[in-house]
Amino acid sequence: MLHSGKTALVTGSTSGIGKAIAEAFAAEGANVVLNGLVKPGEDEALLAEFRDKYEGKIGFSDANLTDPEAIEGLMGYVARDFGGADILVNNAGVQHVSPIEDFPVSKWDLIIALNLSSAFHTTRMAISGMKEKGWGRIINTASAHALVASPYKVAYVAAKHGIAGMTKTVALEGAQHGVRCNAICPGYVHTPLVDAQIGDTAKARGMSEDEVVKDVILAAQPTKEFVTVEQVAAMAVFLTSPGGDQINGAMMQMDGGWVAQ
């Protein structure tokens, strides 16, 4: 299998895009470290689900990625128990929708910490081991909002634009050491995060939820279809395959043509 013997750390992998990516790497034989904040007992259920399906070693950490010390603990765990991350997928994220004049400062701080700063911390602690091995793949889950903006999403758009810049910088630093860094930029993917956005956007714009889906969300995507989590996961696997060896510093758009407009 493609990644037998390698370890993939996927942050924010208890549901949605992150879980689909973790499953895709596990299916390719990788050892997988899952991460996310869960209710009591959900971690055991998630571990059992993965261990029943896949042959590789499966681990879990509930590290709060808004806390740099917790991230250090996560990366130490991956190093001790798995020999370090060969593949790092920075996927954890959160969203809040509000006009900037009403945007809570606490929400700004949370989104920047989780959507941007956490990726800096995991990357800075993973890349030395990748360079030593002469092979590593870092994938950042960005967004079409890493390339274009939408109203009422100031923190999210700022964080994703920051991820785009970080991706390019890390790609240059790792280029001659066998390390590749790319970002996947999906349009709207039907996940719990997007479901929450639909409700928030409806309130912010004074619209019904059906109107938000039709006239706001899918209006931006010329295909008029949501991206699926499986499609994003397939792109992540491709970027770590031999076919992706010369893709470095790229913003891989998966947005049904949104940014092409």
Tell me the domain boundaries of the chain. 7-188+228-260
Q: What is the pTM of this model?
A: 0.93
User: In the prediction, which pLDDT does 216 show?
Assistant: 85
Whole-angstrom distance, CA of residue 173 vs CA of residue 257:
30
Tell me the catalytic residues.
Answer: 156
Q: What is the CATH number of domain 7-188+228-260?
A: 3.40.50.720
Closest Cα partner for 49 from 41, 227, 130, 6?
41
Per-residue pLDDT of the chain (261 residues; tens, 9 = 90+): 999 999 999 999 999 999 999 999 999 999 999 999 999 999 999 999 999 999 999 999 999 999 999 999 999 999 999 999 999 999 999 999 999 999 999 999 999 999 999 999 999 999 999 999 999 999 999 999 999 999 999 999 999 999 999 999 999 999 999 999 999 999 989 887 678 778 888 888 999 998 988 888 888 899 989 999 999 999 999 999 999 999 999 999 999 999 999
Closest Cα partner for 36 from 26, 24, 45, 25?
45
Residue 152 has which token pair? 């009422």
**If residue 7 lies in a helix (H) or strand (E), which one and from where to where?**
strand 7-10
User: In the prediction, which pLDDT does 112 show?
Assistant: 98
Whole-angstrom distance, CA of residue 45 vs CA of residue 42:
5
Closest Cα partner for 136 from 8, 29, 46?
8
